[in-house]
Structure 1
Amino acid sequence: MPDAVKARMIAVPDALLHPYTDLQPPFPGGLSGVHDGDIGRHKRHGKPADCPPPQVDGPVATLPGRYMYGGPLFIHYGHFITESLGRLWGLSPADETYGPVDGVVFLPLTKLEIAGADDLRAYMTRTFEYLGLAPDRLVFPSAPVRVESLIVPEQGCGLGMPSLPAFRRFVAARRREKHSPHKYVYVSRENYLHKASLLGESLLAARLAAAGFFILRPEEYPIAEQVDILASADVLVFAEGSALHTMLLVPDYRGRVYIVRRRNNAQHFRPQLQGLGIDVREFDATVMLPQLFGQARWGHAMTDIRMVLHCLRLELGLDIDVPQRRDCIDAVEADLLRYIDLARTADGLRRDNIEPFLAAVEVTGFAMPAFRQAYARHIMPRRA
């Protein structure tokens, strides 16, 4: 997005806010009665995704003072980074059109029962602190509330949207000087086999590590260290996932980014990365597998690990050891067996996905005897 674009900000007296009762579009909740170019609406892919309710009848508590509107509060890491931080650019001294504020009001999902900063997950608190926002300045109403004076900045970033220059300036100003020595970084999802991952990813990570890549498992590092590692690298290779959204906090990155995809949802990431001017190249997933338990979006994927490593070897000029096909089969088999072991004890086994899962595995040629035996021993008894 060109830097000539000017982010907007308005002041709303006696503003009425409703906590969100759902964070799936259309979101019921939000800021009522503001129609100034939809500036108060929460957007995805450039379009409003919420449905602010009408004025409420009866008495409503009032929050005295001047506060800034932060929008919905997500607890999922990727959505939190992408959809809950976009209005914080209004805290920048250069953009404090209406003067300083007493705090920031976020609207959490009502069922999460977030009443204060102590209820936040640790990564959320650290991210707010990294961006210069002390936890004691955060307000999370659990019921409709009127705010004496509410400053509403335009949403500076969002799912499937390029970020605004004002947001990029704000986050760039928070970053320390680069100190990480790692020039080649692989961002891993190896610890997320229970949710969604690339089967056989440990082999991919091991071969990259042997070639000099630093393996970044984001959940093991505070946000400031993650940003430093990402910003300092010349080449980033991501196993596609929420960690890609962290690039919103590295707005001036000029290295190369490779994405090993596991889903056909490039529309979520590509506009963000291209809006940052990042050179992005993608490796498509070979096969996507249905999830045997948990949410549907937690499905796993298989990719051609040999092809990915061969392409990186040629593009980067590194001595990457490309594995034999048998090595790939062994790595995928190991993850399949681990996954079945998780499904064996998991609540909510998705029986309707069992046959599609088996069919997808069969197509790949990875239906090994050990996998069949594990399936028969652990999954079949639960289908009765």
Structure 2
Amino acid sequence: MGLKECTGFVGRRLLINDLPSRRMARNAIFIPPANGPYWGLFEPSGRSVAEAMIFAGNGSGKLHNPLGSTDCPELPSCPTLSDDYDYIYMGHIDPHYGHFLVGAVGRLWALPAYERDRLRIVFSCHLSVQELMARDYFRVIMTALGLTEKNFLRISTPVRFRRIDVASVPFEELSLVHTIYADLMHAIGRQIIPEGGQPLPARAIYMSKERLRNGNVRVDNESAFTAALRERGVGIVYPEEMGFRDQIKLWASNPTVIGFSGASLHTSIFFPERRVITLAHGPDIWANQCLIDMANNNDAQYLYDANGLEHIGAGNGFNMNYRIRNPEQLASELAEYALS
């Protein structure tokens, strides 16, 4: 039998029930990326505001790698923004859906519940607010939180804030997740699909990347694999061809969802206790999906093809391509596992 359970993990899997730290930073200067060698939110001393820092683990045992500057030796002269608004720090936004989902949006766990007119979400990005809102996932999530374009303040050059509310990111990639992250995502899911979904507990669905034009990792002969799965009663969906609300509705209906590891499986986080089968590209699974599953209390399995995927290398818009050695066999074993 080629289908086996994963034997190892890349990164740490730590679930924390306590809230992440949060503080009101005073006279802090925000230096966006591309404004010199230092970027981030800094206290008047030049030290980084700790809650504004972004960290990530790695596969070598280091738990908290800073992804921004820990200090700025010489703060620039810059204007001070008006006190007419209540500023909330969101930081740098990576608009790639997967990075956004486990990154900047998590800071909104501390979003106040009061009226939004004075609220300004402070961020940096190579995209404008209008361009971000044109992305379906961003617009749907922000609308669910009661936010509009006017609530966002894009920063492209250094500025000073007399007061800015800074909440730590509740998800550190390959390291840890706070339970408040799942609480936030569940609240968003309830706003997007208030009616819930029609339960489909006996149905299995495979999330295919075969129509994805570019990305990190893909299976080169996935079409042969999906054809074999379809013949065995597994439904095939293409997330990039679905509206974001439709993707959320699919998860709300709670089928068994299968897919190679990637951002499409992270979307389970919008409804608790989903059933997820993640296919790894080798015997070790990257911990980000495990962190999602832990926070969401998912019924999760991590499987790989013990026959070994053939490494093809980079190309065709992807950083790594693999080939399944025997798509028919793997599909047969996976369908039997998922539908039994």
TM range (shorter): 0.7 to 0.9
Paired residues, number: 303
Letter in 2 for 1:314: E
- Contact 2:80/2:162, CA 8 A, preserved across alignment: no
Match of 1:20 in 2: 33
Match of 2:5 in 1: none
Letter in 2 for 1:6: L
After superposing on structure 2, the runs of 4+ consecutive aligned residues of structure 1 that deviate more than 6 Å are 34-37, 262-265
Letter in 1 for 2:309: T
- Contact 1:198/1:300, CA 8 A, preserved across alignment: yes
Residue 148 of structure 2 corresponds to residue 126 of structure 1: no
Compute the displacement of 1:91 (Å).
Answer: 1.2
Compute the displacement of 1:52 (Å).
Answer: 4.6
Compute the displacement of 1:63 (Å).
Answer: 4.4
Post-superposition Cα deviations, 1:237-260, rounded to whole Å, max 9, x if no partner, equal 01332213323333x124242325
Residue 243 of structure 2 corresponds to residue 229 of structure 1: no
Closer, same or farther: CA 235–115 of 1 in aligned 2, 3 Å: closer
Closer, same or farther: CA 263–190 of 1 in aligned 2, 3 Å: farther
Counterpart CA distance in 2 for 1:4 and 1:76 is 27
- Contact 1:72/1:107, CA 8 A, preserved across alignment: yes
Counterpart CA distance in 2 for 1:243 and 1:256 is 11
Match of 2:120 in 1: 103
RMSD of aligned alpha carbons: 3.1
Match of 2:296 in 1: 276
Match of 2:261 in 1: 240
Counterpart CA distance in 1 for 2:143 and 2:218 is 30
| Structure number, greater radius of gyration | 1
- Contact 2:25/2:49, CA 8 A, preserved across alignment: no
- Contact 1:188/1:215, CA 8 A, preserved across alignment: yes
- Indicate the structure with greater helix content: 1
Match of 1:50 in 2: 68
Post-superposition Cα deviations, 1:34-85, rounded to whole Å, max 9, x if no partner, equal 8699322111125122115525232334243221111220022211212121
Counterpart CA distance in 1 for 2:312 and 2:16 is 41
Any gaps of 5 or more consecutive residues in structure 2? Answer: 1-13, 58-62
Residue 312 of structure 2 corresponds to residue 316 of structure 1: no
Counterpart CA distance in 2 for 1:70 and 1:122 is 18
Any gaps of 5 or more consecutive residues in structure 1? Answer: 319-384
- Indicate the structure with greater strand content: 2
Counterpart CA distance in 2 for 1:92 and 1:309 is 47
Moved more, 275-284 or 9-18: 275-284
Post-superposition Cα deviations, 1:107-138, rounded to whole Å, max 9, x if no partner, equal 22xxx2x3433455413233322343323211
Moved more, 65-74 or 253-262: 253-262
Moved more, 266-275 or 140-149: 266-275
Percent of aligned positions that are identical:
18
**Higher RCO (CA < 8 A, seq sep 6+):** 2
- Contact 2:182/2:295, CA 8 A, preserved across alignment: no
Match of 1:79 in 2: 99
Closer, same or farther: CA 59–138 of 1 in aligned 2, 3 Å: closer
Counterpart CA distance in 1 for 2:275 and 2:323 is 27
Counterpart CA distance in 2 for 1:150 and 1:5 is 22
- Contact 1:42/1:71, CA 8 A, preserved across alignment: no
Residue 225 of structure 2 corresponds to residue 204 of structure 1: yes
Closer, same or farther: CA 154–191 of 1 in aligned 2, 3 Å: same
